[in-house]
A and B are shown apart, each in its own frame.
Chain A
Amino acid sequence: MNRAALGALLSHWVRHPLQALTLVVGLALATGLWTGVQAINAEARQSYDRAAETLGQSALPRLEGPLTLRDLATARRAGWPVTPVVEGRLPGSRARLLGIDPFTAPPTGASDDLAEGAGLTGFLTGDLVFAAPGLDLPDGLPEVRVLDDLAPGLVLADIAVAQRLLQTSDISHLLVLGQAPVGAPPLTDLLPGTTLVDPAGQGDIARLTDSFHLNLTAFGLLAFLVGLFIVHSAIGLAFEQRRPLFRTLRALGLPTGRLTVLLGAELLVVTLVSGTLGILLGYLVAAVLLPGVAATLSGLYGASVSGSLTLSPLWWLSGFVMAGAGLALAGGQSLWQLARLPVLAPAMPRAWARAQATTLRRQAMAGVALLLLSLSLALWGQGLVMGFVCLGALLLGAALLLPPLLSVILDFGTGRARGALSQWLWSDTRQQVPGLSLALMALLLALSANIGVGTMVGSFRATFVGWLDQRLAAELYVDPGTAEEAAEMVSFLEGRVDAILPVISVETLLEGAPGDLFGQVDHATFRDNWPLLDAVPDVWDRLAAGEGALVNEQLARRTDIWAGGQIDLGAGGTRDVLGVYSDYGNPRGQAVLGIDDFNDRFPGVTPQRYGLRVDPARAPEVSNALIEAFSLPEGRIIDQAGIKGFSLAVFEQTFAVTAALNVLTLGVAGFALWASLTTLGAMRVPQVAPVWALGLSRGRLAAMDLLRAVILAAFTAALAIPVGAALAWVLLAVVNVQAFGWRLPLLPDPLGWLTLAAWALVAAALAAALPSWRLWRMPPAQLVKVFAHER
């Protein structure tokens, strides 16, 4: 009995392979996008964890200031459990060099290799360093052993070796591993001129990148929801079409319970197949997108993420769980109806439609409530989570409002329609809204998200490029190396260039949090180019005279200290704030003093870089002369075009990722629409048949179907544009400020929006093409049958 019933049930799929495909592909797409995004997030998180675990650095308080290894001895002899760290960029490469003291350091990723004797000896004598996989390292390093456990982009060396490579005798900071015995003097008394920095105040990479990952997760969830719409319509169709079969099976004596169990088993099989496909698809998505995401993260936040993907059993499982949950959600309603189905149930499309009116009213009210919530959160909400709740409420509210709005528009159209045919078209469209609403909501979500995220990235890019043009005004940037080299270089450059602008800075505490304090010469380059958001009169003259400091927007926002206020610049003293400048892409606080002022405060500090003003045409010539005269290795001299090129490449990567996700979500939404139309196409035959019988050709009916889909999509797109713009505003003005501390101007991109809307119409037309074609090609006999058979 079971076998026969199962065979009968499954035969439906054999006769409708396209439907089977819809179901499996829909679920696989949904699961795939979800797991792909999860895989990317997991990989990135793992990379941050490895980076943080290297010394547990992110969780430990640190002592900062002018420190050497002698100070390590002083602190430890006083009983303080501290360990020294030297950090810097490995000269000639993009790798981060971390120097540690293996005797006092907590366990690192290299502990096992150090416990092996030759390893420790080589490490201490400078014959061995450890490196993360996949690094491009310069020549002249000691033996390099590649360790998979090291954080990406990291080279680990003994502290003395690291000091030699970085040409310094200082250490970056002391990590404080625990408490000193009772009676030990405080570290800051023991080592004057140092400050103890609490880990809570440090810029934690994970926190910075959280919003990026939240964005990705939101994208993944959105794709999953859109996928669920597909599954919902495919399952709904399959159940609807098999009603006669269910009736037959029941009439033959198959108990309802048994039938439900069999259909449940069918769904389980679909889950397993689609889940597996989806996970494979997710792996593919992640593998394709990960390099772009890694490049974005490292470019924007300096967070290193390994570009290779590991297939973890956890996201196999999560993929199946999501697929199963999705199917249960989509199929549960159908199973529930089936279990309560009277043996001979009549079809009741009108009653169903009437019930819909109440639903629409409820939806409208819920939608308005959500939009109000979103608005109030945007105005008064605090924190990143609230920002995202605001986003979610906006999207969901807009989606819920779509069907009622469409109904209102279509009612209006029906009222205005002249002629029987156009009246029928309007009211027939109105009749279809309930059946299409899920798919249209999915389309709205996908379009709004694409418009919003696209606008955000575009605004970010335009602002950032403008800012780069302003801030990177010098034609060449050169790393002078040691103080002696720097002096030689300056005298060599005198007369060869128009101006030499030192880039000189120290790390210090700005209003209690770590940041950078710069010294800046008074030059037209800055006066002409720096974007000041807020300033006192004669700001540049006063800065040059040492009367105060400029601070970046992040610092100003965080402390709410603006031009005219006073700010504590740690080692730089307390200063008047003369102005606030925008400083995109930088998570840390920053402040600028006049160069004389800076040199008085920090006499021992030498410039990290010189910016050289020179006729752009002569830049390559100067660059070559410098390289020859000082045999500068690659990386010590960078031209402006190079820096800009790199920054723009970062954005191209971000764009590529966004664009790929856009295409995927739009594709999924189009698929949902197609599945819904297919479902409706089969169900609507009894409604179309009378119109056909009245003399309308199948071709005209099909064309009207196609038109209807396009019109519905156009309405949806028209609604999606303001929603998307609102979304972009929330992202830029709410989420961005909460996540990074700066606000970006919203740059509307109407052409891009219209292009997207056009694509939505194309997607709708494509989605409607097959069902329309079917109607056009439907054998007249099938239409006639409607009148012969009571359905």
Chain B
Amino acid sequence: MTAALEVRGLKTHFFTRSGAVKAVDGVDLTIERGRVLGLVGESGSGKSVTGLSILGLIDHPGRIVEGSVKLDGQELVGLDRDAARRVRGRRIAMIFQDPMMTLNPVLRVGTQMSMALRAHETVSNDTARERSVRALSRVGLPTPEQCLAAYPHQLSGGMRQRVAIAIALLHSPSVIVADEPTTALDVSIQGQILQEMQRLGAETGVALVWITHDLAVVSSLAHDIAVMYAGRIVEHGPTADVLAQPRHPYTRGLLDSVPGEAKPGEKLAQIPGSIPALIDLPPGCAFRARCSRASGACEAMPEIAEIGGRLARCFHPLEAA
């Protein structure tokens, strides 16, 4: 069976005046239908650019320089503008972080939904309305009719994000890329949205790429997890395994940085230093400057290799506990 989404060797670089920024530098991902992949990393690790690249939404001065993105077996990289547009929104959708900003403030929700519908189908006003209502009730909005007539500012953050999800679901896509869709929401609303997405994923069989920096969110939602650092995947495997027994030192560091298990007053664990600038990155493992296990060998880039039931990109992986 072909995977819903298969990304191979994806490289997206931004060509700036001071040099090429290698925001994504060789990413491989595979997601089956009905599964959720959590794509985790710090700000600047390239996870959002990966999401945008999958949809072909990279703007000048950025460009996909290499690699392949296959949606249900169809290659998306290199499609012409119009062919790419016909795929976007219909077979692969995206949701963004801030629901305050992603809906157009001056158009009614109904108008925006019918525009999204008409991007790919010719439908009558009545059909558009009826399908919008259905999509809105599917994401758990109690009064879809009122919602259609409302402007975004009249809805709460959670409702707006539900509207965005409903828009993403309009054409029943195979894959949804969700770029930190719950980060801007209250914790309680966050929980509701996560539950809703879990249900929708199971119901519709949509494959979900959930981009986040929040490990707690991933642990409750994702089947698989991919940890990104400086434009590359450093660890990729089943969520339970990776979180319980991380093999890459960076994953370990991320997990230790979650203050959940620390005692009050105790010094919080942290990864020393910060993510390196992606411009003129020196060869070798990008994490070695911050890594306690680094050695001379780390001056070459380690290949991603299978270890303990998952993939890790490290010469000195942590041992299984």
Q: Do A and B bind each other?
A: no
